[in-house]
């Protein structure tokens, strides 16, 4: 079987039979992959902590044409991101990011997506001076932009008319961005988004930090993002990790 060696991040995993484990990985050189780690639960010599959730390292995958499940023979040079397990809100934010990557990712090399995921998870693990929800929202919107379906926010997505920075504009999920007043009058529905919220989303997609971020902002952004992602999930799947993250309320506890 051909051997694929690539940098990878563990996004999901579960036990299989008595001693093995199946993991879902995002790889730099081959996109999303599933790997069977035989005997991983009995011997830590080949994998160590490399199969822990959000761990990043070099994966050795034996592939076979026409088969969806690779054989994972090793995982080396591991960065574990154990810090995420020390804070429930940040852990659920990381789970949300992983879920979205798994829902929208694809096979085939995608170094930009891999780098966006790395940046998002590292930020959650290390940047404790930032609001955890702001960090998660930033990571998700940057992933959305990297995948190529980031919304248009400064001009009407239908006619191209500029939208004033301070305007309350209708955000249309089917259209893929905001609409001017004339086009909004013809739209079947949507959610009105103020200028500062649009500026925040635009900044997140470009990798910026939003410092003026309140509890009300967090709730509104979570709701808008959920609606946007759900619209683009055409197979009707439920974003379970996202729902748990959105219900969390850790900051208010």
pLDDT tens by residue, 85-142 = 999 999 999 999 999 999 998 888 899 999 999 999 999 999 999 999 999 999 999 9
Q: What is the pLDDT of residue 252?
A: 43
In which region does residue 203 sit, left (phi positive, over 0), alpha (psi from -120 to 50) or beta (all else)?
alpha
Identify the CA nearest to 10 among candidates 95, 108, 119, 109. 95
d(CA 91, CA 212): 23
Q: What is the pLDDT of residue 253?
A: 39
Q: What is the pLDDT of residue 78?
A: 86
d(CA 92, CA 246): 9
Q: What is the pTM of this model?
A: 0.92
The DSSP 8-state label assigned to residue 118 in this structure reads H
Task: List where CATH 1.20.1440 sits in the chain.
Answer: 85-150+189-247
The fold for domain 85-150+189-247 equals de novo design (two linked rop proteins) (1.20.1440)
Q: What is the pLDDT of residue 235?
A: 74
Q: What is the pLDDT of residue 249?
A: 61
Low-confidence ranges of the chain (pLDDT < 50): 251-253
d(CA 219, CA 229): 15
The fold for domain 3-80 equals OB fold (Dihydrolipoamide Acetyltransferase, E2P) (2.40.50)
Task: List where CATH 2.40.50.140 sits in the chain.
Answer: 3-80
């Amino acid at each position: 079987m051909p051997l694929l060696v690539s940098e990878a991040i563990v996004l999901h995993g579960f036990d299989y039979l008595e001693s093995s484990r199946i993991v879902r990985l995002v790889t730099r050189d081959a996109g999303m992959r599933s790997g069977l780690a035989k005997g991983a639960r009995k011997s830590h010599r080949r994998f160590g902590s490399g199969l822990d959730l959000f761990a990043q390292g070099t994966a050795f995958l034996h592939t076979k044409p026409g088969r969806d499940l690779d054989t994972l023979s090793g995982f080396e040079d591991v960065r574990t991101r154990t810090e995420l397990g020390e804070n429930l809100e940040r852990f659920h934010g990381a789970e949300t990011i992983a879920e979205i990557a798994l829902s929208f990712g694809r096979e085939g090399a995608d170094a930009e997506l891999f780098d966006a995921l790395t940046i998002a998870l590292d930020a959650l693990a290390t940047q404790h001076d930032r609001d955890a929800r702001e960090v998660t929202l930033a990571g998700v919107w940057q992933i959305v932009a990297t995948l190529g379906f980031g919304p248009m926010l400064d001009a009407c997505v239908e006619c191209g008319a500029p939208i004033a920075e301070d305007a309350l504009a209708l955000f249309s999920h089917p259209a893929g961005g905001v609409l001017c007043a004339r086009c909004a009058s013809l739209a079947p529905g949507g959610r009105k988004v103020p200028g500062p919220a649009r500026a925040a989303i635009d900044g997140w997609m470009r990798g910026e930090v939003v410092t003026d971020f309140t509890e009300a902002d967090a709730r509104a952004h979570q709701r808008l993002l959920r609606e946007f992602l759900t619209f683009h999930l055409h197979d009707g799947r439920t974003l379970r990790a996202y729902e748990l993250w959105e219900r969390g309320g850790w900051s208010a506890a």
